[in-house]
């Protein structure tokens, strides 16, 4: 069998040599119970989205890879989150707002059986000011006789309402034709996903670690060129930041600057943003506040980036606040909490004073080089043959598993497939990863190794 091995990283489908292509983002929004999750499941063709659909429980997963008529896109689901009953209207509206900001186009779901409500109207106002293309889905129209009920929703002024039954699949094809078309068109004209030739960087970390400060500090040296979107009223989403002569596209800087910390569901919002930014990025700059204890949330953000297979640079900020004691505490932490990312580069800096921010660019370039790196098959096999001869896999049950052949199946991040005659134990796989890293580098990039057993 083919199994996923090291670090429990997600197994990434084989990718070609081209830069990971940026795909459009389609958000599904609407008030609770209109059928958003049902629609998302229908689009994904599996029952994945609603598994933890308990009110008040925040889900980790907010966006999914989807495909329609040959177009790949990210589907952002907002169905799993329920606001506090108090202030429900505004909370839902702002939750939807974030999903909308992250998206190229929106499916706005209303309930055809209930008709229009005030919450719907509130969401419509937000959608208007966001200026994104919207397709209206009038759900729970389960049969043809009920289709006339969709007509009421013309008065939203958002164009033709599409009668659908998310439950039975009725009308969902026509809806998707329209929404995906809008999304593709928006991608081309909005510049949301352009310029694609720049390296895409996600600046992530829990609230207050210093993301905005670092962004300001970096933009300070060379004024940020704002990715201005002509003719729209919304905030610029991404910004070009020049670091040491190199332009990078920083993802979702609007989200970094906006302070949502006090809002109910703040943690959900920030994890939604973080995940979306990481998905669109090639490199994650993961920020920590080194002056306070590292929290589970810090480590979770880091794991999101590593599990997504992105190049990673770890940034320990607020170094100006550190005394000798703090520095020793940090060194101990590095050995314990960060042992799964010993391959990552670490930059200690101060976003406030600018101290050592000039060390970022080298680390970023290095990480991206590793992420792109390809080892020729001949070289790879010669090396594995050598280490195997020196350190064969231990004999188990009278048999000795043996590596037959290996190849690097893809880059971004590097992924290796090893063909072996038996199960390779965890310790041996770690040994292989370590040896590959010692021989070939890969500093700053996760690598993935899978083993294909040929009995």
The answer to whether 145 is a known ligand-binding residue is no
Calculate the alpha carbon distances from 407 to 5, 134, 423 in Å.
15, 45, 18
* 350 is an interface residue for ligand GDP by CB under 6 A: yes
Among 6, 22, 35, 236, binds ligand GDP (CB under 6 A): 35
Would you count residue 142 as binding ligand GDP (CB under 6 A)? yes
Least Å distance, CB 107 to ligand GDP, is 11
| CA separation for the pair 69, 103 (Å, rounded) | 19
Report whether 309 belongs to an annotated binding site.
Answer: no
Q: Distance between CA atoms of 120 and 90, rounded to whole angstroms? A: 11
- Asked if 209 interacts with ligand GDP (CB under 6 A), we say yes
Binds ligand GDP by CB under 6 A, chosen from 190, 275, 281, 317: 317
Q: Does 274 bind ligand GDP (CB under 6 A)?
A: no
Closest to 176 (Cα-Cα) out of 61, 49, 71: 71
253 near ligand GDP (CB under 6 A): no
Q: Does 211 bind ligand GDP (CB under 6 A)?
A: yes
In the list 25, 27, 38, 279, the residue contacting ligand GDP (rule: CB under 6 A) is 38
Query: Least distance from C-beta 113 to ligand GDP, angstroms?
Result: 7
From residue 273, give the alpha-carbon distance in Å to each of 13, 268, 312.
24, 9, 17
CA 373 – CA 367 distance, rounded (Å): 10
Q: Is position 435 annotated in a ligand binding site?
A: no
Cβ distance 186 to 105 under 8 Å? yes
Q: Does 48 bind ligand GDP (CB under 6 A)?
A: no
Task: Give Cβ neighbours of residue 177 (< 8 Å, ≥ 6 apart).
Answer: 68, 69
Closest CA to 111 of 149, 154, 157: 149
- What's the min distance (Å) between Cβ of 208 and ligand GDP? 4
Give the residue with the Cβ less far from ligand GDP, 209 or 276.
Answer: 209
To ligand GDP, the closest distance from the beta carbon of 31 in angstroms equals 7
> Known binder of ligand: residue 33?
yes
Q: Does residue 23 have a known ligand-binding role?
A: no
- Contacting residue, 79, 255, 413, 446, with ligand GDP by CB under 6 A: 79
Residues 281, 251: contact at Cβ < 8 Å? yes
Burial class (CB in 10 A: 0-12, 13-18, 19+), 267: middle
Cα atoms in the Cβ-side hemisphere of radius 13 Å centred on 251: 25
264 is in an annotated binding site: no
Contact between residue 62 and residue 276 where contact means Cβ atoms under 8 Å apart? yes
Interatomic CA distance for residues 237 and 338, integer angstroms = 31
Applying CB under 6 A, among 4, 33, 181, 303 the residue interacting with ligand GDP is 33
CB of 40 to ligand GDP, least distance (A): 8
Residue 213 found at the interface with ligand GDP (CB under 6 A): yes
| Residue from 127, 110, 103, 97 nearest 175 by CA | 110
Residues 98-137 that bind ligand GDP (CB under 6 A): none
Q: Rule CB under 6 A: which residues touch ligand GDP?
A: 30, 32-38, 79, 139-140, 142, 165-167, 205, 207-213, 256, 317-318, 320-321, 350-352
Q: Write out the binding residues for GTP.
A: 30-37, 77-81, 139-142, 205-212, 252-256, 317-320
């Amino acid at each position: 069998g083919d199994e996923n091995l090291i670090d429990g990283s997600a197994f990434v489908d084989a990718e070609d040599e081209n830069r990971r292509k940026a795909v459009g983002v389609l958000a599904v929004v609407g008030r609770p119970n209109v059928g958003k999750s049902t629609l998302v499941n229908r689009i994904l063709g599996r029952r994945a989205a609603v598994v933890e659909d308990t009110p008040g429980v925040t889900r980790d997963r907010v966006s999914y890879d989807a495909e329609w008529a040959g177009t790949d896109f990210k589907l952002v689901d907002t169905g799993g989150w329920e606001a506090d009953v108090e202030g429900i209207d505004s909370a839902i509206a702002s939750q939807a707002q974030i999903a909308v900001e992250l998206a190229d186009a929106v499916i706005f779901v209303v309930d055809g059986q209930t008709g229009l409500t005030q919450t719907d109207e509130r969401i419509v106002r937000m959608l208007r000011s966001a200026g994104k293309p919207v397709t209206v889905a009038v759900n729970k129209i389960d049969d043809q006789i009920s289709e006339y009920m969709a007509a009421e929703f013309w008065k939203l002024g958002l164009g033709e309402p599409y009668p659908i039954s998310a439950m039975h699949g009725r009308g969902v094809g026509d809806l998707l034709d329209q929404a995906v078309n809008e999304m593709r068109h928006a991608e081309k004209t909005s510049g949301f996903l352009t310029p694609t030739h720049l390296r895409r960087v996600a600046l992530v970390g829990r609230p207050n670690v210093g993301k905005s400060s670092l962004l300001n500090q970096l933009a300070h040296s060379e004024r940020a060129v704002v990715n201005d979107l002509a003719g729209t009223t919304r905030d610029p989403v991404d910004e070009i930041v020049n670091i040491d002569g190199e332009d990078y596209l920083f993802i979702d800087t609007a989200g970094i600057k906006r302070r949502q910390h006090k809002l109910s569901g703040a943690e959900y919002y920030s994890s939604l943003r973080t995940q979306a930014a990481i998905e669109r990025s090639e490199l994650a700059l993961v920020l920590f506040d080194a002056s306070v204890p590292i929290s589970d949330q810090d480590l979770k953000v880091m794991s999101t980036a590593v599990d997504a297979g992105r190049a990673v640079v770890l940034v320990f900020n607020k170094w100006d606040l550190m005394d000798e004691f703090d520095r020793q505490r940090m060194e101990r932490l590095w050995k314990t909490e960060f042992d799964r990312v010993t391959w990552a580069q670490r930059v200690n800096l101060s976003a406030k004073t600018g101290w050592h921010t000039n060390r970022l660019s080298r680390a970023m370039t290095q990480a991206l080089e590793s992420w792109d790196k390809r080892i020729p098959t001949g070289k790879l096999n010669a090396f594995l043959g050598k280490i195997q001869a020196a350190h064969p896999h231990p004999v188990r049950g009278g048999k000795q598993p043996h590596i037959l052949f290996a190849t690097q199946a893809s880059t971004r991040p590097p992924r290796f497939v090893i063909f072996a005659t038996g199960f390779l134990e965890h310790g041996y796989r770690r040994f292989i990863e370590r040896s590959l890293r010692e021989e070939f580098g890969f500093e700053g990039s996760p690598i993935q190794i899978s083993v294909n057993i040929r009995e």
